[in-house]
Structure 1
Amino acid sequence: MAPRRSGGRGLRRRTASRPERRTVLIFCEGAASEPDYLNAFKRLPEIRSSTAINLMIDPSPGVPLELVEKAAHRKRSDSEIDECWCVFDVEWPKHHPNLDRALRLASAEGIGVAVTNPCFELWLILHFQDHSAFLDNRRAEMISRRLDGRQGKRLDGAKYMPLRHDACSRAANLVARHEQDGTEFPNNNPSSTMFELLAAIEGIR
């Protein structure tokens, strides 16, 4: 008797190979504006398809050095992390303490830093317009709220996403201007290296 032929397909199903997503861990000190912005960024389809972004929000009022220490500890203990970043501000008129130590530790541990001087609101301002004049925290918050119409710290991150590359270009120009003038950190007010974080994730240089 001839063997029976199966009219159906084999049980083994071919699976399409898809590139493995990178895992990026971001520590930030802000409890409202920064997470709102970064959560909108991670929800973009082009980001979600290639990168898993995990936000670690420090709920206690801390300083950048403590944030970097926590990031370094987590990075050492988790081999699944492809990149680790810290997002923090300089603050004016009174700076955070130990900013230089925070940057040195981040460099030694292979942790990226996205630092805005004076505060994250400058980065938000750059989505709408250039700004090259010195700012303190109060003035930066006032301009930022006027530009996007919000009342408090919470923001609609999705509103900023179509403008993020404009902000990156303006922020890069500020950094280049400070380098040309020889202005050293933390006196490089206004400035933001948030564009480096976005570029590292989006692959845009």
Structure 2
Amino acid sequence: MSRREFGEKKRGARRVQPLKTILIVCEGSKTEKIYFERFKERDSGVKIEVPTNKFTDPVNLVKFARDYAKKHDISVAEGDSIWVVFDVDQNRDEEITKAKALADDLDIIITPSNPSFELWYLLHYEPSTAHLTNEQLGKKLKKCIPHYAKNICVFDEIAPTQKLAIKRAGDLNAHHTGKNLYSRSSNPSTQVFRVVVHIDKIKTENRANARARR
């Protein structure tokens, strides 16, 4: 019996709304996993899963997400969502294009960061449209967060400017109009904001539904 069927049969004939699951598959680095784990909240009506894996290339990340979702009864058709987060800097355009095509076929959303995930952090402090190497990005971020280092949690520090970062990320997409956002040519850009917007949207909807049922 699936968790959907179980939810409907639980407590006799009463229908129990199952939790929506947001599956976020990140590349091997711990930075992204640490960040997204912080979005978990009790009684939010949403289950966030950020499984550990050994992959760094986008194609294998998409395949891992597909297999993990199947094994754990995570279904887009049932209202769940599946996201793959990865850095562009170490990948060729051909690999990204292949991953995007496979993900589209599977209803999986890929969210690359160009050059890397740390750009999402930087956008909480300042806009940036000039081409960035990871070294340049690291220096900029270090000025904003002097104690910053890989694999430390800065969620609470950057949370107050999350909406501003979302706007800046969207502005970067507009800045690259005419370019392929899923390629190396869109430096700097990050689609991580799409995951964050979705998480906040689902949580807001669940809270509103909970209030309406009272």
- Fold match (TM-score > 0.5): yes
User: Where do 1:135-146 residues align within 5 Å?
Assistant: 135-146=132-143
Q: What are the residue-to-residue correspondences of 1:161-176 with 2, within 5 Å? A: 161-176=159-174
| 1:125-140 equivalences in 2 (<5 Å) | 125-140=122-137
User: Is the counterpart of residue 74 in structure 1 residue 74 in structure 2?
Assistant: no
Q: Residue 53 of structure 1 corresponds to which residue in structure 2?
A: 48
- Counterpart of 1:79, as a letter, is D
| RMSD (Å), alpha carbons | 2.4
| Cα distance change on mapping 1:79 and 1:36 into 2, 3 Å | closer
* Local SS of the residue matching 2:185: coil
1:149-197 deviations in Å (ceiling 9; x for gaps): 2242023222122221111100001001211xx1223301000111111
Amino acid at match of 1:104: A
Letter of the 2:163 partner, please give it. Answer: H
1:61 to partner: Cα distance:
5.2
Q: TM-score, normalised by structure 2?
A: 0.76
Name the CA distance, whole Å, in 2 between partners of 1:33 and 1:146.
18
Q: 1:95 aligns with which of 74, 91, 97?
A: 91
Which structure has the greater CA radius of gyration?
1
Q: Deviations over 1:125-149 (max 9, x none)?
A: 0011111110011111221122112
Residue in structure 2 matched with residue 120 of structure 1 by the alignment: 117
Instruction: State how far apart, in whole Å, the 1-side matches of 2:38 and 2:66 are.
Output: 25
Structure 1 residues 150 and 33: CA distance shift in structure 2, 3 A? farther
Percent identity over the alignment is 29
Report the Cα distance in structure 2 between the residues aligned to 1:196 and 1:77, rounded to whole angstroms: 25
Whole-angstrom CA distance in 2 between matches of 1:35 and 1:131: 24
Deviations 1:38-80 (A, max 9, x none): 122224x6xx51211010122x353111111111122234334
* 1:150 matched residue in structure 2: 147
Whether the 8 Å CA contact 1:118–1:135 is kept in 2: the answer is yes
Aligned-residue offset at 1:19: 5.4
Query: Which segments of 5 or more consecutive residues in structure 2 lack a partner in the other structure?
Result: 1-14, 203-214
The aligned amino acid for 1:95 is N
> CA, structure 1 residues 169+18, in 2 after alignment: closer, same or farther (shift >3 Å)?
farther
Q: Which runs of 5+ in 1 are unaligned?
A: 1-16
* TM-score (normalised: structure 1): 0.79
